[in-house]
Every structure is written in structure tokens, then in C-alpha cells.
Amino acid sequence: MSAGPTLRVIEANARAYRRTWRGSIVTTVVSPVLYLAAMGLGLGSLVSHAHAALGGVGYVSFIAPGLLAATAMQTAAGEAAWPVMAGIKWVKTYHAALATPVGVVELVTGNLAWIAVRLVITALVFGAVTVAFGAVPAAGAAAAAGPALLTGMAFAAPVTAYTAVSEQDTRLTSLFRFGIVPMFLFSGTFFPVSQLPGWLQPVAYATPLFHGVELTRAVALGLPTAWPAAAHAGYLLAFVVVGWAAAIPAMRRRLQP
Amino acid sequence: MGDVSTIRAPSRRERGHEPLVEAHSLTKRFGDFVAVDGIDFAIRRGEAFGFLGPNGAGKTSTMRMIACVSPVTEGELRVFGLDPRRDGERIRARLGVVPQDDTLDLELTVHENIYIYGRYFGLPPAVLRERAAELLDFMQLSERAHDRVEPLSGGMKRRLTIARALVNEPDLLILDEPTTGLDPQARHALWDRLYRLKQRGVTLIITTHYMDEAEQLCDRLVVMDRARIAAEGSPRELIARYSTREVVELRFPLGAQDAAIAALDGLAERAEVLPDRVLLYTEDGDATVAAVARRGVEPESTVVRRSTLEDVFLHLTGRSLIE
């Protein structure tokens, strides 16, 4: 892998983003704010603060880091799905990049690095909102950008590989309908996984989002985690590494047959 | 007497004639499908080299291997003397590629498309600003520099794609069907620009299934058919070798062609019977037309024309270039 071309892929993404960032603001900031207001303040007023499963914090504080992790997931998966399909198939900008010194490794890595930049920005903006809601202390919100980034990348990398092997965009819609949305609802974002029926709990534990939520919540609020923090992080990191390693040959087969 | 084994002819590089692109038994397979079947060719610096053939002949697969975006299955390929398998990044740094489908970023402006592409080559921003202005001027796009790409016409998008491909001042410009889908006016405008590039000494590789395009632009070309090279030479050489000076085209009323064919026997060096007309290959078209009349054959229309590469292709493959 060459550093120069990888950096230039990031730069190209950043330049294109200057034209498209307005559209992304809605998904990355406005919707979580709405969730935080409706669920955290509205629904949260009905939830007993003393409930043991919440770890002794108020409901809005409980869901704020969860939403941060889930937003990272959605942003990352979204960025690794439709824009990647556009680069491969609809607008073919990836084909343009690959006609230059940029190779598949640099293209995939540069795009993932750009998603990482997007995730950090999103996490910090979102963190500021949670602080404004009084849900999370400022230091916790800032620190939570780290695990939120890791959570997002655990999706960005494998979803890139998935998009690279998907012929039609209906596969992307399916991924969200049957993967991302259920995870969003059942991986500890809105309520502890311990509240799920027993048979469903192992499924929730297997999802990367569960580990992302655990880690983000622990860092933001200083709560204990289900597993040691390093184990959660390692689980997520495995998704990043395996996803990245799978995305490169998948993209090569797709773009350079 | 010196040791004979140390005496060797000067290498082609030393003589300055090293081909820019050289292929030996170049083969591309996709599973069981053979897209390119052991072809040989050499492209010299400064020439415009064409790959002429119908869709599916293997032209694009060949271009993609030269552009180092498709691995060679078998055989030898050298671009600038380098091996695409190992030196793809170095080769691509010196190439300009105009793909068959536009790959412009539609959300960006005309200028931004060139700028971002140039950044992929690592060119500094100051150089790029200057070069983008020059290229847009050359491609007659300066007035649209800060417009978004999406609403541009097909001809403008093609010109922008070519401008973008020139941003790294490539030693070799690869154009894969540069004018497919353009109206005649846009095609001629594009040919004019390509002709100017050729005059500046840019080496061009052009694939096309338009014989007039090949005749206009190419110094030398290969005719590809079914993954192989059927013939090679300059347009004039190919016509001289595989066709006659003139062609008489006869069209008959519906249903009358079959009856007429027998009567035409022996009137020309060679005849091709197409579904809608009969082609008579001859050195003297007018004399042949007169001979047709003497035999009492009365076609609906008669055209005498010079031979083209289309006739070469028809002769080599028995099929029309564009079906």
C-alpha cells in the first residue's frame, strides 16, 4: 500500500463532501436529536430512574451513549453501502480513481479512513448534543468518540466488502432492513440486553453493536462493562480487520476482473 | 577474438525504438470465456494505433490490460518497458485513460473533476489550477468550468473526460470508443481535438467500431475479431491488401436480389452478398457498372465508392462491422 495515493483518496472524499455535507447532517445529527428528545425525555419520564438494569443512571443518560454508538453504526454502514455502490456501478468514480496511481488497496483503505473522519466529526457533534441534554458529562462525551469510531468502523469495513459483492442495491436495502435496523433496536441501545427473552440474548451478544454500545456507554458514563473493555474492543477490532481484509479482494474481483 | 557470447545487438531501448506497448501471445480469460486469444502487437511512440472490431471482439479487455486494471491471464505485456503485474502504479502514473463509459463525478464541477483526478497523480494544487485552465481551454470547456457536470451534453462530458485524462501529461492516451453515442457534430469536434493531440506528439491508442473513425485517426491499426487479430497495417495498406480500389454497391427491389446474383457472376474480382445489397469489388467501378448494364441486370440503385476498412473487415470475417 502506498501512503500518497491513500491520502489522496481521503482528500478527494473530503472535497466531494464539501458539496454534499448538508444532506448528511439530517441523518447524522437531526434524527438522533429527535430520538434523544422523544425516547430520552418523553419515554424516559415513564421509566424509573432507580431501575437496576440501567446501572443506576437516568434513562436519557442510558440511551444517549447507546444512540451515539448506534448512530456511528448507521452512518458507517450507510457510507459503506450506497456511496460505494455509486463508485462501483452508478457513477463509476472508483473506475476513474483506479486509472490513476491509486490501486484497490489504497482506494478501499482511503475510503475507510474517510469514513473514520466522518465518524469522529459525527460523534463529537452528537456528543455535544448529549451534553446539551444534560445526559452525559462533557469529558465523557468527548472520550466516547473513541469507542463510537471503533463501533462505526466495525460496520464500515465489512459493509464495504458486502457492497463489493452485491450486484443490486436491493441487497443494500435488505442489509439495513434485516441487519442494521434490528441491531439498532435490540442490541442494548434502548434497553439492556438482559431484558430480552433468554434465547435471544446470545444473538444480541454476538452483534458488534452490542459491544460498541457497552464500550461507548462505559466510557461516556464511567459504568462497568459486561466483558473487560479490551475484550469488547477486540471483538470490534476483529470486525474491522476481517472486513478490511475481505473488502480488498472483493473489490478487486468487482473492479478489476 | 572476443567471447562471442558477450557480443550482442544494441537493445531496442538503446536504439530509441523501444515500443511503448508490446504484447506477445497476450491472453485474457474470464472463466471459460476467452476474451483475448494470444494476440501480438507493438505500439510505437508518437503513433495513433487503433483496435478496430465489432463489440465483443476483445478490444476493451485488451485496453484494460494495458491500463493495468485487469490482470493478464497469459502471455507477455510490456507498457513503457514495465510489467503491469508488478509495476501497475508506475505505469498508470504515465497513462491517460478515457474509458468507454463516462466516470465523471456528476456532483462536482467541471474544474473539480480535473482537480481531484490530478490530485490522484500527486500533482501540486498550483500546477493543477494552471493545467486545468489550459486543458479546459483546449477542450473548449472554459465557460462551463464552474458548472456541475451532470447537465452537460454527452459531447461535453466526453471532452471533459479527455481533458481529465490529460492532466498528468501522459506519455500514452488510451481512448476506448471515444465517440460512441455522440452525434456527428460532437464526433467531428472530438476528432479535431484528438488530431491536435496527435500533432503534439501524444501517442494514442483508440478502440472503435467505426471504420471512418479508424481511417481518420489511426496511423496503424489491427482488426480484431473473436478475440484474435485478423489483420494489421495502416488503413491504406489494409485496403490495398484486402480489398480493391473501388466498390460497386447494388440494391435490388425486394425479392429480386437472388435472381440477379447469378447474372453478376464474373463481373468483379470478388462479390459480397449482404441481406440488403450486393457489393462488387473492382479496380474500375464505372466499367463494372457498365458491364452490369450490358448483362441486362437492373438494380434499384447503384453506388460506386472507394473501398473502406468496412470492406476489409467484411472480407476478413464475412460479417459487417456494425450489425
When pLDDT is averaged across residues A158-173 and rounded to a whole number, the result is 97
Domain extent listing, chain B: 12-233, 244-306
Instruction: Considering only residues B314 and A156, tell me which one the structure prediction assigns the higher pLDDT.
Output: A156
Helix (H) or strand (E) holding B27: strand B21-30
Instruction: Using alpha carbons, select from B315, B319, B217 the residue that is nearest to residue B275.
Output: B319
Which CATH number applies to B12-233: 3.40.50.2300, 3.40.50.300, 3.40.50.720, 3.40.50.2020? 3.40.50.300
pLDDT at B16 over 70: no
- Contact yes or no for A99 and B92 at CB 8 A: yes
Domain that holds residue A233: 3-255
Instruction: Considering only residues B323 and B117, tell me which one the structure prediction assigns the higher pLDDT.
Output: B117
When pLDDT is averaged across residues B306-311 and rounded to a whole number, the result is 91
CATH class in words for B244-306: alpha beta
Query: How would residue B124 be classed by pLDDT, with cut points 50, 70 and 90?
Result: very high
Report the alpha-carbon distance of residue A235 to residue A216 in Å, rounded: 14
- Select from B89, B103, B120 the Cβ nearest to the Cβ of A12: B120
Mean pLDDT (chain A) is 93
Model-level pTM?
0.90
Lowest mean per-residue pLDDT among B141-145, B225-229, B254-258: B254-258
Which residues are within 8 A (CB) of B32 and not within 5 positions of it... i.e. 6 or more apart? Answer: none
Strand residues in chain A grouped as ranges (E): none
pLDDT at A248 over 80: yes
Contacts of A255 in chain B (CB under 8 A): 69
pLDDT at B8 over 70: no
Amino acid symbol at A94: Y
When pLDDT is averaged across residues A237-253 and rounded to a whole number, the result is 98
pLDDT at B10 over 60: no
Determine the pLDDT at residue B15. Answer: 45
Amino acid symbol at B155: G
Determine the pLDDT at residue B321. Answer: 62
Query: How would residue B211 be classed by pLDDT, with cut points 50, 70 and 90?
Result: confident
How many independent structural domains does chain A possess?
Answer: 1
Amino acid symbol at A46: L
Whether the CB-CB separation of A126 and A215 falls below 8 Å is answered with no
Determine the pLDDT at residue B5. Answer: 43
Instruction: Using alpha carbons, select from A236, A217, A222 the residue that is nearest to residue A63.
Output: A217
Report the alpha-carbon distance of residue B99 to residue A96 in Å, rounded: 8
Tell me the residues of A at the B interface, defined by beta carbons under 8 Å apart: 2, 4-5, 8-9, 11-12, 15-16, 19-20, 91-93, 95-103, 255-257
| B12-233 against B244-306: fold identical | no
User: What was the ipTM of the complex prediction?
Assistant: 0.90
Sheet of B246-251: strand order equals B270-273, B278-282, B246-251, B301-306
When pLDDT is averaged across residues B20-46 and rounded to a whole number, the result is 97
Determine the pLDDT at residue B25. Answer: 98
Query: How would residue A49 be classed by pLDDT, with cut points 50, 70 and 90?
Result: low
Sheet of B203-208: strand order equals B95-98, B172-176, B203-208, B48-52, B220-225, B228-233
Compare all CA atoms of chain B with the CA of A95 and give the residue at the minimum distance: B103
